[in-house]
Structures are given as structure tokens and as C-alpha cells.
Amino acid sequence: MTKHEDALRRMALCDERFVEGVLSMRMTDADDSGLDPKTHALVRMGALVALDAAPPSYQWNASMALAAGATVDEIVGVLIAVAPNVGLARIVSAASEVALAIGYDIDAALESGDEREWVRQGTGPSGGTTERRSHDAG
């Protein structure tokens, strides 16, 4: 039996020792997953989005992903990749938190530069509508 077959069998059977081992894994321990640290961190970011995690979770996980060699584009790519599965509400909720975690303040950006006009008009940069409004839009 291969490693992945054994792991799937033990998860399906709810093998208590296996499940306890998986649940007690440290966030930085990617060895048991068989994934490299960068992929491990990016997959965890997708799970955080799906769970609508607390802001500190995004901060910590983004720092782990960046330390493992992920780029900010790859982190944002995770949001795009999971969007069809988790839905718009989760992506909107996660976007600001992930942005802050990678050092981009969306609110500050919306209050300056070109983005102010598309927010005022109620359209996104690609022309799609948005419900986000700046403080002085009206």
C-alpha cells in the first residue's frame, strides 16, 4: 500500500491515532502532507479563505508563505483559484485581510489615485460593478 493510499484509508476509517496526529500537526510541519513548504502554505491560505478565518490567521499564514518562497501574486492567486468554490462573500471578506497580510492597504489605496474614480462611479477597474464606496462617494 502506498503512503497516500494508507493516509486516505486511515482518514476514511477515522483512525483515531492518525486523525489525532494530523490535528496536532504544527502549522510549520509540512513533511506529513508530502507538499513542499510553499505549496503547503498556499493550500492552507485557501483553507483559511474557505473557513472565513480570523485576520491574524491570514497574517501568520501569509508570512509563512512568503518565507517559504511564495510571491504576493501567488497568494492573491489562491483567492482567485478558490473563488468558484467558496463564493463571492468569502472572497470579499478575505481580500482585505490578505491584502493587509501582504502589506497592501486597500482602504488607503481607494482613498488616493485612480481607484477613487472607479469607486465613486460604482464600477471596478475592469468595468464590473462594485458595492464598495469611498467615504466621500455619494
| Mean pLDDT rounded to a whole number for the chain | 78
Residue 90 has pLDDT above 80, yes or no: yes
- Contact at 8 Å (CB) between 58 and 95? no
109 in the same domain as 99:
no
What percent of the chain is helix, strand and coil (3-state, nearest 5)? Answer: 65, 0, 35
97 in the same domain as 61:
yes
- Note the pTM of the prediction, 2 decimals: 0.65
30 in the same domain as 62:
no
Instruction: Quote the cell numbers at residue 60.
Output: 501568520
98 in the same domain as 120:
no
Q: Which domain holds residue 3?
A: 1-34
Q: Distance between CA atoms of 110 and 26, rounded to whole angstroms? A: 37
4-14 confidence digits (pLDDT tens):
778 777 777 77
50 in the same domain as 25:
no
Q: How many domains does the chain have?
A: 3
